[in-house]
Amino acid sequence: MKRRYFGTDGVRGKVGEEPITPETVLKLGWAAGCVLGKGGSGHAKILIGKDTRVSGYLLESLLEAGLSAAGVDIRLLGPMPTPAIAYLTRTARARAGIVISASHNPYEDNGIKFFSSDGTKLPDDVELAIEEKMQQPLTTAGPDALGKAKRYDDAGGRYIEFCKSTFPHRMNLEGLKIVVDCANGAAYHLAPLVFSELGAEVIAVANEPDGFNINRHCGATFPIFLKKTVLAHKADLGIALDGDGDRLIMVDRQGEIVDGDHLLYIIATDRKRAGRLHGGIVGTLMSNLGLEHACGKLDIPFQRAAVGDRYVLSMLNEQGWELGGETSGHIICLDRSTTGDGIIAALQVLAAMRESGKTLAELRSGLDIYPQVMINVRMDRRFDVKESLRVQQAIKAVEGELADTGRVVLRASGTEPVVRVMVEGRDVAQVERLSRSLADTVKRAAEEAA
């Protein structure tokens, strides 16, 4: 069955346009309640959390109404990071968890994604069952069977304590000055407390959401703000999350950006040194070639999954490994959490610093990152680069020039109407020239096909 609503990360789009319209979201809540609420005794319980977008109020009420009509009880969490909802869904023994967020996208967008009772993404067959149910007329449970809604008042405190429990109990963060950029997102009221309660001096920024400023010139997608703040305050390091708190980018005291590839390298090498690295690590097609080569030198197995945390997670489960992630900073530590978690990933890096006695700059220095340029080419979603002879010929030409010193990756985004054109290699001038040329070819081919 072809998917109509669900993409690689739930249902997402611009608010007011399909599928993020009142009618469709109400139907989605009802269909999800019908499918996920089956089985068991009494009413099923589903949690709803959101980020700080102004549209969250609208979507939350629609989902609540749909779930209630399906006879499902609701627990409202309010603003809460995506990984917190995964954790609370599991520990509260809920049937499922719903996240209202478009992650790193601007406030105009929003999305809805689901977690199973185990705190993991829904299997494909369950998402397809929800879509199939959405094609049926909406019916309402009888007055005595409607679901009830309650606030989950201590959700934030429970998540803070969980995060702190993933940091070694014999350690603290005393003596560290840390800038925490909350992206004006879902972790604005939680992330600073986690690090300060572990003893750090915390400078919290982008922690005053107004419904419109989420991810705006701040957070993991705009690390230059964190860099400037770290240097201005002479901090030891900086931590930047994205709008829903599942991504992490760090900055060392010199202002150098530490991305997801660096973070994976630091956590993996620390665990290998301590004998706690089970198997290898999973990156993606976009992971830097330098990370793969560094892992090879350390005899750490490395595999690439398709881009998207669900594919990283799937490969981790297939291999029986625990550590994986994306260059964007989505880091999964399965021995700590069931999904990517920016706060928990940061704590793993800080633990490596404390254990080794090294600075973040020293820990990142062992990884030689190859120059990598990625250009987003906006286009109609119907254009398929794989079907374009011109694009395929251009790719072969670039690969021929790079030979075995680099890579080319073209992929359609699962969350935006863009094709990501990535070229990497040893020579930065060559990489920049080839990426611009290839992006221009893709743009011209898309325009002609429109």
First to last CA, the chain: 26
Could you tell me if 61 and 28 are in contact, meaning their C-beta atoms sit under 8 angstroms apart?
no
Task: Single out the residue of 39, 100, 25 nearest to residue 67, CA to CA.
Answer: 25
- How far is Cα 298 from Cα 267, in angstroms, rounded to an integer? 13
Rg (CA), the chain: 22
| 68 is known as an active-site residue | no
449, 383 Cβ separation under 8 angstroms: yes
Query: What does DSSP say about strands 331-333 and 372-378: parallel, antiparallel, or unpaired?
Result: unpaired
Q: How far apart are CA 156 and CA 208, in angstroms?
A: 17
Q: Which residue has the tokens 């609420």?
A: 37
The structure tokens listed for 272 are 């290998």
Are residues 277 and 270 in contact, defined by beta-carbon separation less than 8 angstroms? no
- Closest Cα partner for 220 from 327, 332, 321, 129? 327
Cα separation of 110 and 60, whole Å? 11
Catalytic residue among 55, 101, 103, 337: 103
Residue type, 115: F
CA distances 294 to 115, 263, 268, 334, Å, are 34, 13, 11, 22
Residues 6+ apart with CB under 8 A from 337: 83, 86, 87, 119, 166, 344
d(CA 52, CA 392): 41
**Is residue 442 within a helix (H) or strand (E), and if so which, with residue range?**
helix 428-449
Q: What is the dihedral of CA 431, 434, 436, 442, to 10 degrees?
A: -130
Can you say how many angstroms the Cα of residue 77 is from the centroid of all Cα atoms in its chain?
19
Q: Is the dihedral of CA 268, 269, 271, 276 positive or negative?
A: positive
- Which residues participate in catalysis according to the annotation? 103
